[in-house]
Amino acid sequence: MTVPTAPAADRASIENVLAAYALAYDDNDMETMADCFTADAVLTMRIQDGDLIGPFEGREAIVRLMRDSLASQNDQRRHLVTNVVIRAIDADIATVDSYLTLISVTGSTLTVLSTARYADELVRDSGHWRFGRRHIQLDLPY
């Protein structure tokens, strides 16, 4: 498989969106979270081999899902995004795969809750890369 070389500026901007999403979730910063998605973005997820969850359509529905998920947690989550591979890129669309390691921090204890693979389509929207589509394939329930 040949992986295209993304221009350095685009690669940095795309990686920044992936990191901004993770930090926004961990910091309960829904304004930044919303800015990571296009207005008409779609998010889906699957846990192990379970049923497809979603689609959550539109920025508002995605942010509501994240806000509700945060409200149900009593720990500090840390989303670690690694192995970012840009599979395809043109002027306005990038297909990106990456891994997630989800860590829970409670008191002085760190626990790996799950790992996952993100399958993303980012689009250039008003001069910025944003998620147009995001699928989260979790290896274990969190």
pLDDT single digits (tens) 20-62: 999 999 999 999 999 999 999 999 999 999 999 999 999 999 9
Its domain, for residue 53, covers: 8-138
Q: Cα dihedral sign for 96, 101, 106, 109?
A: negative
The answer to whether residue 35 is domain-embedded is yes
pLDDT tier at 7 (50, 70, 90 boundaries)?
Answer: confident
Q: Cα dihedral sign for 26, 27, 30, 32?
A: negative
pLDDT tier at 6 (50, 70, 90 boundaries)?
Answer: confident
Exposed / middle / buried, residue 3 (Cβ in 10 Å: 0-12, 13-18, 19+): exposed
> Minimal CA–CA distance to 65: which of 106, 99, 21, 121?
21
The answer to whether residue 3 is domain-embedded is no
Evaluate the omega torsion of the peptide bond into residue 4 and state whether it is cis, within 30 degrees of 0: no
Say how many domains are in the chain. 1
Is the separation of the CB atoms in 6 and 89 below 8 Å?
A: yes
The reported pLDDT for the residue numbered 27 is 96
The reported pLDDT for the residue numbered 142 is 76
For 83-133, what is each residue's pLDDT tens digit?
999 999 998 999 999 999 999 999 999 999 999 999 999 999 999 999 999
The reported pLDDT for the residue numbered 19 is 98
Q: What is the number of H-type helices and E-type strands within the chain? A: 3, 6
CATH number at residue 34: 3.10.450.50
pLDDT tier at 1 (50, 70, 90 boundaries)?
Answer: low
The answer to whether residue 30 is domain-embedded is yes
Token pair belonging to 118? 């993100």
The answer to whether residue 115 is domain-embedded is yes
The answer to whether residue 76 is domain-embedded is yes
The answer to whether residue 1 is domain-embedded is no
The answer to whether residue 2 is domain-embedded is no
The answer to whether residue 56 is domain-embedded is yes
Judge if pTM exceeds 0.85: yes
